[in-house]
Chain A
Amino acid sequence: MSDIALTVNGKRISGAAEDRTLLVHFLRENLGLTGTHVGCDTSQCGACIVHVDGKAVKSCTMLAVQASGSSIVTIEGLANGADLHPVQAAFKEHHGLQCGFCTPGMIMTAIDMIARHPEGLDEATVRAELEGNICRCTGYHNIVKAILAASKTMSKGSKGKVKKAA
């Protein structure tokens, strides 16, 4: 067992977990943050993506103990009460989700992608950078649309400067 202390969605958390516990299982099972999902066991599907110190990370590739001392943002930490994050709002507006299972990972990836491209995004870039996220429902069409729209909204909102989400 290892002691783990980290910040999750702005709250300081301390706990203990078996050494082999993956970050995704710590978030889901110890903290009850079940919005982060597990869709595979080879770090391919991206349903488990969270932000670790501001970067999109597959939380199934990381031990919980490795995340000790980090600041984590999960899908539950994005909306401010009733106010959705612009990427969440864009996914809803553009029907960028169907069953919703890959959606949290898609949204976390999209926020990271938009933050890394303050100059704006085009379709080819979005498609290339979604390489680590698998969706079986949407054919990606509306996910791409939603990310492009959110990128535009966010660059307008910050007058060209995109704030890092985490």
Chain B
Amino acid sequence: MGIEGIGARVARKEDRRFITGAGRYVDDMVVPGMKHAAFVRSPHAHAQIKKIDVRQAQAMPGVIGVLTGKELKADGIGNLICGWMIHSKDGTPMKMGAWSPLAFDKVRYVGDAVAIVVAETKGQARDAAEAVEVTYKELKAVVDASKALEKGAPQIHPEAENNLIFDWELGDSQATDAAIKASAHVTRMKIVNNRLVPNAIEPRAALGYYDRAEDHYTCWTTSQNPHLARLVMSAFYNVAPENKLRVIAPDVGGGFGSKIYIYPEEIVCLWASKKTGVPVKWVADRTESFLSDAHGRDHVSTVEMAFDKNNRITGLKVDTIANLGAYMSLFSSCVPTYLYATLLSGQYNIPAIHANVRAVYTNTAPVDAYRGAGRPEATYLVERTMETAARELGVSPAELRRTNFISSFPHQTPVIMNYDAGNYAASLDAAMKVSDYAGFSVRKAAAAKKGKLRGIGMSCYIEACGLAPSAAVGSLGAGVGLWESAEVRVNAVGTIEVLTGSHSHGQGHETTFAQLVNQRFGVPIDSVSIVHGDTDKVQMGMGTYGSRSGAVGMSAVAKALDKVEAKAKKIAAHLLEADEGDIVIENGALKVTGTDKSVPWFQMALAAYTAHNLPGGMEPGLKETSFYDPSNFTFPAGCYICEVEIDPETGMTEIVQFVAADDFGNIINPMIVEGQVHGGIAQGVGQALLEGAYYDASGQLLTASYMDYTMPRADDLPSFKVSTSNTPCPGNPLGIKGCGEAGAIGSPPAVINAITDAIGINDIAMPASPSTVWAAIRATKH
């Protein structure tokens, strides 16, 4: 490991602009002639639009244009789509309802956009938006997914009878039923995974600019995957052909999944720019974000986990209802199916698994992937059930898990996934050691003396990351491939630009990708620039989500570096009159191994471009491209142990210790990996203790500001004890598994297992807020 190479704890290159206020986010962009937009949004969860009168708004000061869905439709702008086809178990395709970027006949959730106002200033746009008169005929709304399936429930889309989008299954139903029937013990639970709002601190924003001279569009947008945005806006929404549309995602202030999707606003801003003849900028305020960003989770499941007399799991049966909200967001269908049920085997040998999933429309914001996406739901279900089973069986939670760990690899689960490598006992041992698990009873007794309830809980999670082998996801219904691209340009002076389809919005790619180059060629990371987030610069890419940038994005870079290295060695061999097989790259020079003959890196690069003395037939220049498609998912796994102290008088839960032992395979920059784990844990603890998106029965979002939706703050959290034990991933050239989502996946069950342990109950709802905990404690006394 060099000081800037793989494994080095290098401070981030990108930090300087952020800490000096020089970051460039979408809201910071200014284009000559730029005007401001506000959206008119539905105040009703379910209503017919009878009439939209824009005359008064049109006449207000500064107003340039007021545009509605009818005009949008007339211009041929397409409906938003879900890009992953799921078939129900009867073979029928999912029932996708129409989603117009501006609703024109019906609104289906509070916040549904019905018109856009463009004005000189943001204030004028907002004033005029309030003056747009929309006449609605209110309809009965339904927000609870189970109720939406009941006979007589409000019908949200004509395409989906009884609001059922699909009724899908995975696994062997008969074998699972037989295993349960023949078992010595069955643990049964109802598991609710609470609805969350991702809440990147930068609100979503879009700036659409139509250039009449060139007949060309530019869209600055808060996106995790600008190329996918361009593809979808061209291919499905008819905004503009790809060669006439540039999408730029500059600095993006967090995503966590919510900025993967192409939302109505960026489409409408681009269209409105052409209609009004001015560049149109829209920036969400926070309440708008709460209402219209894709939400996460919202599963209700029943589970049966069966054991033989030796406490070995023999079968797992799961029935889940997933609330997808009012419209099918871009990847909404794969989250409760192929990103969820395929992980229900957890870290365990389970011979028979069956999952049934019903996805349902409700009059709530669309639900899609949020940090972890399906895998937190699977982990929560499996790890809560394991904990309860251990209590019912009278064995320690650690031993029950250990008894059932998968220990030989590769391991084929009954739910598609083939785990390539792992060492689950190593993570469990590490977490138990760091947390002093053995000394817990002493700490519990000491807490009891202070009148506090102390509990400990663990969670052994697994996830599938490195999304994903294109052919595999294609066979499961994905509308896109999930490869990644890289282009490595070695300049004539030896500096390097790496163009990547991955997108950094906090992950530190400008540093880690440069570390990879340093490792290979010895070029200082300050001489390596990472270029991303602009479809005019990077030809094509699939973006950043699903912990894929290391495993897939960097693998593409590694493949391109292989090609650069091969050509560089040929050039060096020619210059040094040596055999190319004898050339090695060390300390920024290409050397003939075993001799003192060498050529500096920059001199070789210059030779590639002067082309005065290249091997016969070689093209000048040094620039290589790679499209890397992974052969398998990657399988990060680990063990989290949470210890809590509860004040029974107030119901306040304090996390007194949180230990994470993760296996991420090889690590490029431990400092950045730890940061990813910290942030993930905070979001998982947030889900377990604080966060919940609540709608009332009429479909009003009750938690639409930071006054009402409890974000984790610094004093809600402890400092975390994180460590890694690395089993390299055999599936990609760098041995990387991915670390972005683990914290959010592994932590909620650990927290809830600790709280239920402290109180002496088997279940408590998330978020386990003080009032919920207080009520649960009171209930144990009566």
Within B588-634, the residues touching A (CB, 8 Å) are none
Query: If A47-B201, A99-B506, A101-B202 touch, does A42 touch B675 (CB 8 Å cutoff)?
Result: no
- The yes or no answer to B276 lying at the interface (CB within 8 A) is no
Within A67-119, the residues touching B (CB, 8 Å) are 74-76, 78-79, 84, 88, 91-93, 95, 97-104, 107
Flag if A99 contacts B27 (CB, 8 Å). no
Interface contact tally, CB-CB below 8 A: 187
- The yes or no answer to A143 lying at the interface (CB within 8 A) is yes
CA distance A41 to B705 in the complex (A): 8
Flag if A130 contacts B715 (CB, 8 Å). yes
- The yes or no answer to A136 lying at the interface (CB within 8 A) is yes
Instruction: Tell me the minimal C-beta distance from A128 to chain B in angstroms.
Output: 5
Chain A residues near B719 (CB, 8 Å)?
123, 141, 144-145
CA distance A123 to B681 in the complex (A): 19
Within B118-135, the residues touching A (CB, 8 Å) are 121-123
Within B489-531, the residues touching A (CB, 8 Å) are 505-508
Residue of A88, A91, A100 with most partner-chain B CB within 10 A: A100
Contact partner of B252 among A32, A99, A141, A143, CB < 8 A? A99
Instruction: Tell me the minimal C-beta distance from B41 to chain A in angstroms.
Output: 15
Chain A residues near B444 (CB, 8 Å)?
none
CA distance A74 to B711 in the complex (A): 25
Flag if A134 contacts B253 (CB, 8 Å). no
Chain B residues near A130 (CB, 8 Å)?
713-715
CA distance A95 to B507 in the complex (A): 11
Chain B residues near A79 (CB, 8 Å)?
20
Flag if B11 contacts A44 (CB, 8 Å). no
Within B1-28, the residues touching A (CB, 8 Å) are 11-12, 14-25, 27-28
Closest to A138 in B: B679
Contact partner of B201 among A36, A107, A134, CB < 8 A? A134
- The yes or no answer to A52 lying at the interface (CB within 8 A) is no
Flag if A140 contacts B705 (CB, 8 Å). no
Contact partner of B20 among A18, A35, A93, CB < 8 A? A35
Instruction: Tell me the minimal C-beta distance from B740 to chain A in angstroms.
Output: 11
Chain A residues near B680 (CB, 8 Å)?
139
CA distance A76 to B287 in the complex (A): 28
- The yes or no answer to A161 lying at the interface (CB within 8 A) is no
Contact partner of A40 among B505, B705, B713, B743, CB < 8 A? B705
Query: If A101-B25, A101-B254 touch, does A136 touch B200 (CB 8 Å cutoff)?
Result: yes
Contact partner of B256 among A33, A45, A136, CB < 8 A? A136
- The yes or no answer to A57 lying at the interface (CB within 8 A) is no
What is the total number of residues of chain B having a CB less than 8 Å from a CB of chain A?
A: 60
- The yes or no answer to A39 lying at the interface (CB within 8 A) is yes
Query: If A76-B21, A142-B678 touch, does A99 touch B254 (CB 8 Å cutoff)?
Result: yes
Contact partner of B11 among A93, A137, A145, CB < 8 A? A93
- The yes or no answer to A51 lying at the interface (CB within 8 A) is no
Chain B residues near A138 (CB, 8 Å)?
675, 678-679, 682
Flag if B713 contacts A134 (CB, 8 Å). yes
Chain B residues near A153 (CB, 8 Å)?
none
- The yes or no answer to B720 lying at the interface (CB within 8 A) is yes
Flag if A101 contacts B253 (CB, 8 Å). yes
Flag if A136 contacts B254 (CB, 8 Å). yes
Query: If A100-B253, A100-B506 touch, does A42 touch B706 (CB 8 Å cutoff)?
Result: yes
Contact partner of B21 among A36, A93, A143, CB < 8 A? A36
Query: If A35-B22, A103-B19 touch, does A98 touch B287 (CB 8 Å cutoff)?
Result: no
Flag if A76 contacts B679 (CB, 8 Å). no
- The yes or no answer to B285 lying at the interface (CB within 8 A) is yes
Interface residue ranges, B against A (CB under 8 Å): 11-12, 14-25, 27-28, 30, 121-123, 199-203, 251-254, 256, 283, 285-287, 505-508, 671-672, 674-675, 678-683, 705-707, 711-715, 717, 719-720, 743
Can you report 13 residue pairs joining A to B where beta carbons are below 8 Å apart? Answer: A34-B25, A35-B21, A39-B202, A42-B707, A88-B19, A92-B11, A100-B15, A127-B714, A130-B715, A134-B706, A137-B675, A139-B712, A144-B719
Interface residue ranges, A against B (CB under 8 Å): 18, 20, 25, 28, 32-42, 44-45, 47, 74-76, 78-79, 84, 88, 91-93, 95, 97-104, 107, 123-124, 126-128, 130-131, 133-145
5 closest pairs, A vs B, by CB?
A: A35-B21, A101-B253, A100-B18, A139-B682, A99-B506
